[in-house]
Amino acid sequence: MRFLLLLHVLDVLACPPGTALPSKRSDPPDLPSPSFQQVQWHRNEMEMFLHFGINTYTDREWGLGNEDPNLFQPLKLDTSQWVRTAQLGGFKSMILVAKHHDGFMLYPTNYTNHSVVSSSWRGGKGDVVKDFTTACQAQGMQTAFYLSPWDRNFFNMTWKPSYN
């Protein structure tokens, strides 16, 4: 109590002579408010980031873009198990790397042969992104995707406007 009284006395003494002490505090300044999407993101608290791709089968951290797509053979792929595991861990959203910088795409595309269409897995008709999305929707999990703009498979195209 003495400490608080001392602080108050020092505060009064610090005012120049003739200065009236404020009778009430002013309103706080207007602060920016988060958008609905930002609030939802914060409510998720945790998001699971899934980095699954050709490097899973090459045992390399960084792909070079020249991997044989036929190495991609997720014979026991169970994306529903991924979602169940995430939910057990308290995750409310999952982010799947659909294409990392090695350029290998986990979905069929007409823009490159460095994708699941060039793998014998499911006869070249496999689609990890579709399987993942279907599993997430069925179990009420929010989804997001990471797609690297860098592409070592098309290294000469990556920074051209036509590629982007």
Task: Measure the CA–CA gap between 98 and 103, rounded to whole angstroms.
Answer: 9
Q: Considering only CA atoms, which of 128, 131, 153, 133 is closest in space to residue 93?
A: 133
Under 8 Å between Cβ of 48 and 95: yes
Q: Over the stretch 14-45, which tens digit does the pLDDT of each residue have?
A: 555 665 555 567 777 788 999 998 998 888 88
Provide the whole-model pTM.
0.74
Q: Over the stretch 92-128, which tens digit does the pLDDT of each residue have?
A: 999 999 999 899 999 999 888 999 999 999 999 999 9
Structural domain boundaries of the chain?
A: 43-159
